[in-house]
């Protein structure tokens, strides 16, 4: 169970790195709880265009549709861990 | 300055257009599937105007379009100037407050010291719509470049009103009274014109929502009656196509902020069964011209625009008798419009913001530990929605992350290179220049 969750986190981190052209990042070394938005030095430093890229990549890979006006989506976009949890709960 | 010519007196213009038949009761906003009438909006704006504090500037960061438009109109009715910052982060607002001390903030969500603007009409009856002097400084719109402070661009009430009516006449009038969903923020010039100036100056209505993800766009459109128009950008069109979203019947799709490829326009016209129209404009001038992307490279000027090419610089006069503005691009005059000869090769645009590649390179080179560096725009890829600038850096003692962190403090983070790659040396030729092809190759192989 834990291993599956960790594998999915890793997969989501890899998806972020390839979808956003940030190959300089190493998925393994990123803290799964690091914030997705905001300061670049403590987290991923993503912006609103990245959110659109990530939402599209997640829909294409897992068939999970994200809606910006839902509280669940806002929470999902907190970190790689929350994003992976959201995918696990909604994937087909 | 032409001191001999007396300045043409600016006309008085209605704050909310009520000239057409049945105007007072016709929809101006769509709020959760229900219409807000023009009269209902005007009454709400009048009521808000009465309770605004005395100040010269109103910092309008409202997100909901009804709230934003109410605040925008109320501030103008009180003789104030709307400040429209691109960011409402505490830092950005603090910087704006210190630059414009005689100001207060208009919010529609949490009140953090300022005025809370309701997201719904107040239900009061309308007495009178004020006439506003066209010369009134209605808004300051900001461009954030790569350099320091955002630059302010003044928009008079006449110029706001003019852009609303010319954009509506060119792009919407053929479909009757349209209902618009816009994915762009109203604090940006294109969003201000299409989602605020258009409903203020012409008989069209707009959804209060600003949907971002494809599924949000579909729902917002489905909540409106036909004829529906989607006002958006190439990024959102790509996302809608990528997600294979099925949208309700559309009268038209409007795109601006970045060039739209004819390949993307064609796919969108087929999938959404609607013409894809592009607007050409800038923060300095507002919208200047339009075209249907698939019909070719000819841009048709909007009504009243005067284009002039001299000394290799293209300039446009938006309203006869007002200021002539130089453009970043070189245009070739052609019949009732122009062809775009080229964008200034140094400029890069991301998310509606623009920066100079030379300046980004200079900032990157200024970081301690960086020996040589270049920021450039690579060949377009099919893999991401947005092509960001990339960088190659010679910095043996720094990690890529350290360089990005340092650079993030010097420039707007939307321009952070993706990717930034470390190399042993840059492929400078004998005169020290960096051939584009060599850079592209090094980027792929690094």
Interface test with A, best of B65, B216, B423 (most A CBs within 10 A): B216
Between B90 and A54, where is the model more confident?
A: A54
Contact (Cβ atoms closer than 8 angstroms) between residue B103 and residue B55: yes
Q: Each residue of B326-368: pLDDT tens digit?
A: 887 888 888 899 998 866 667 788 877 778 888 899 899 989 9
Instruction: Specify the pLDDT at position B2.
Output: 41
Instruction: Specify the pLDDT at position B5.
Output: 47
Contact (Cβ atoms closer than 8 angstroms) between residue A37 and residue A44: yes
Domain boundary assignment for chain B: 12-342, 347-445
Interface test with B, best of A27, A55, A60, A62 (most B CBs within 10 A): A55
**Over residues B118-141, mean pLDDT:** 91
Instruction: Specify the pLDDT at position A25.
Output: 66
Contact state of B350 with A19 under an 8 Å Cβ cutoff: no
Q: Is the pLDDT of residue B401 over 60?
A: yes
Instruction: Specify the pLDDT at position B29.
Output: 98
Q: Each residue of B35-73: pLDDT tens digit?
A: 999 999 999 999 999 999 999 999 999 999 999 999 999
Contact state of B384 with A19 under an 8 Å Cβ cutoff: yes
Q: Report how far apart, in Å, the C-alpha atoms of A41 and of each of A28, B290, B404 are.
A: 17, 42, 8
Of the candidate ranges B94-98, B258-262, B288-292, the one whose mean pLDDT is the lowest? B258-262
Between B259 and B271, where is the model more confident?
A: B271
Spatial separation of the C-alpha atoms in residues B334 and B338, rounded to whole Å: 5
Strands B228-232 and B252-255: parallel
B103-106: which pairs have CB atoms within 8 A and are 24 or more residues apart?
B103/B55, B103/B56, B103/B57, B103/B58, B103/B59, B104/B53, B104/B55, B104/B57, B104/B58, B104/B59, B105/B58, B105/B59, B105/B61, B106/B58, B106/B59, B106/B60, B106/B61, B106/B62, B106/B71, B106/B75
A-chain residues near B401 (CB < 8 A): 24-25
Phi, psi of A15 (to 5 degrees): -65, -45
Q: Is the pLDDT of residue B30 over 70?
A: yes
DSSP letters of A24-60? TS-GGGS-TTSBSBS-TTTS--B-HHHHHHHHHHHHH
Nearest CA in chain B to A58: B243
Instruction: Specify the pLDDT at position B353.
Output: 79
A-chain residues near B243 (CB < 8 A): 56, 59-60, 65
pTM: 0.86
Shortest distance, CA B130 to any CA of chain A (angstroms)? 35
Interface test with A, best of B87, B90, B213 (most A CBs within 10 A): B213
Nearest to B384 among A21, A39, A41 (CB): A21
Between B374 and B10, where is the model more confident?
A: B374
Instruction: Specify the pLDDT at position B394.
Output: 94
Contact state of B243 with A60 under an 8 Å Cβ cutoff: yes
Residue written as token pair 């829909």: A59
> Tokens in use for B96?
């704006």
pLDDT-derived band at B412, boundaries 50, 70, 90: confident
Q: CB B97: neighbour CB atoms within 10 A? A: 17
A-chain residues near B388 (CB < 8 A): 21
Instruction: Specify the pLDDT at position A24.
Output: 64
Rounded to the nearest integer, the mean pLDDT of chain B is 90
Angle of helix B65-77 versus helix B38-50 axis, rounded to 10: 60
Domain boundary assignment for chain A: 2-90
Q: Each residue of A71-84: pLDDT tens digit?
A: 888 899 999 999 99
**Over residues B90-103, mean pLDDT:** 91
CATH topology of domain A2-90: 1.10.1200
Nearest to A68 among B213, B404, B416 (CB): B213
> Tokens in use for B16?
């909310």
**Over residues A4-29, mean pLDDT:** 83
Instruction: Specify the pLDDT at position B148.
Output: 54
Contact (Cβ atoms closer than 8 angstroms) between residue A40 and residue B413: yes
CATH of domain B12-342: 3.40.50.12780
Contact state of A49 with B350 under an 8 Å Cβ cutoff: yes
Between B155 and B429, where is the model more confident?
A: B155
If DSSP states are collapsed to H, E and C, what string results for B169-194? HHHCHHHCCCEEEECCCCCCHHHHHH
Q: Is the pLDDT of residue B298 over 70?
A: yes
Contact state of A41 with B385 under an 8 Å Cβ cutoff: no
Interface check for A40 against chain B (CB to CB < 8 A): the answer is yes
CATH topology of domain B347-445: GMP Synthetase; Chain A, domain 3 (3.30.300)
> Tokens in use for B340?
């775009």
B12-342 and B347-445, same CATH topology: no
- Pick from B31, B149, B159, B180: nearest CA to B87: B149
Q: Is the pLDDT of residue B165 over 90?
A: yes
B-chain residues near A47 (CB < 8 A): 351, 413-414
Shortest distance, CA B385 to any CA of chain A (angstroms)? 6
A-chain residues near B213 (CB < 8 A): 51-52, 55, 65-68, 73
Spatial separation of the C-alpha atoms in residues B48 and B213, rounded to whole Å: 32
Instruction: Specify the pLDDT at position B293.
Output: 96
Interface test with B, best of A56, A60, A72, A86 (most B CBs within 10 A): A56
Shortest distance, CA B237 to any CA of chain A (angstroms)? 11
Instruction: Specify the pLDDT at position A18.
Output: 84
Torsion sign (Cα): B344, B350, B351, B354: negative
Instruction: Specify the pLDDT at position B144.
Output: 64
**Over residues B378-399, mean pLDDT:** 85
Residues from B contacting A (CB-CB < 8 Å) are 209, 211-216, 219, 235-236, 239, 242-243, 350-351, 381, 383-386, 388, 400-401, 404-405, 408, 413-414, 416, 418-421
Given 3-state DSSP classes, what are the helix, strand and coil percentages for chain B, each rounded to the nearest 5? 30, 25, 45
Nearest to A21 among B211, B213, B388 (CB): B388
Q: Is the pLDDT of residue B20 over 80?
A: no
Instruction: Specify the pLDDT at position B7.
Output: 55
């Amino acid at each position: 169970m834990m291993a599956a969750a960790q594998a999915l986190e890793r997969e989501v981190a890899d998806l972020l790195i390839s979808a956003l052209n940030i190959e300089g990042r190493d998925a393994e070394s990123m803290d799964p709880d690091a914030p997705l938005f905001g300061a670049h030095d403590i987290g991923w430093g993503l912006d609103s265009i990245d959110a659109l890229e990530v939402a599209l990549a997640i829909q294409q890979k897992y068939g999970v549709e994200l809606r910006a006006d839902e509280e669940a989506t806002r929470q999902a976009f907190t970190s790689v861990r929350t994003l992976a949890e959201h995918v696990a709960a909604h994937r087909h | 300055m032409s001191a001999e010519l007396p300045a043409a007196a600016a006309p008085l213009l209605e704050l909310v257009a009520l000239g057409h038949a049945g105007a007072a009761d016709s929809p101006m906003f769509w709020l959760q599937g229900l219409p807000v009438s023009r009269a209902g909006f005007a009454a709400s704006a009048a009521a808000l105007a009465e309770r605004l504090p005395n100040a010269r500037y109103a910092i309008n960061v409202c997100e909901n379009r009804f709230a934003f438009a109410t605040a925008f109109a109320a501030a103008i009715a009180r003789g104030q100037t709307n400040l429209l910052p691109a960011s409402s982060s505490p830092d950005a607002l603090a910087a704006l407050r210190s630059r414009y001390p005689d100001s207060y903030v208009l919010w529609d969500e949490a009140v953090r010291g300022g005025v809370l603007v309701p997201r719904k009409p107040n239900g009061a009856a309308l007495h009178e719509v004020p006439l506003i002097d066209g010369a009134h400084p209605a808004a300051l719109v900001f461009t954030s470049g790569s350099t320091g402070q955002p630059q302010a661009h003044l928009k008079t009430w006449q110029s706001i009103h003019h852009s609303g009516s010319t954009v509506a006449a060119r792009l919407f009038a053929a479909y009757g009274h349209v209902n618009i969903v816009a994915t762009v923020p109203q604090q940006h010039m294109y969003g201000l014109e299409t989602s605020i100036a258009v409903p203020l100056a012409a008989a069209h209505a707009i959804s209060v929502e600003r949907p971002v993800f494809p599924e949000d766009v579909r729902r917002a459109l489905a909540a409106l009656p036909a004829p529906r128009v989607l006002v958006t950008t190439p990024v959102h069109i790509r996302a809608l196509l990528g997600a294979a979203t099925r949208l309700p019947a559309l009268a038209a799709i409007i795109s601006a902020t970045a060039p739209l490829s004819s390949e993307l326009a064609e796919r969108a016209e087929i999938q959404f069964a609607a013409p894809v129209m592009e607007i050409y404009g800038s923060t300095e001038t507002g919208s200047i011209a339009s075209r249907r992307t698939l019909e070719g490279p000819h841009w048709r000027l909007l009504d009243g625009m005067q284009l002039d090419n001299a000394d290799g610089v293209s300039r446009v006069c938006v309203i006869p008798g007002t200021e002539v503005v130089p453009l970043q691009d070189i245009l070739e005059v052609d019949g009732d419009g122009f062809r775009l000869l080229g964008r200034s090769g140094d400029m890069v645009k991301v998310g509606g913001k623009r920066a100079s590649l030379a300046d980004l390179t200079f900032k990157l080179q200024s970081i301690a530990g960086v020996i040589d560096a270049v920021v450039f725009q690579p060949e377009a890829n099919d893999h991401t929605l947005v092509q960001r600038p990339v960088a190659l850096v010679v910095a043996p003692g720094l990690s890529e992350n350290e360089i990005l962190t340092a650079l993030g403090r010097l420039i707007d983070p939307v321009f952070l290179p993706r990717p930034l790659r470390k190399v042993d040396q840059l492929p400078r030729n004998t005169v020290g220049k960096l051939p584009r092809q060599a850079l592209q190759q090094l980027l792929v192989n690094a």
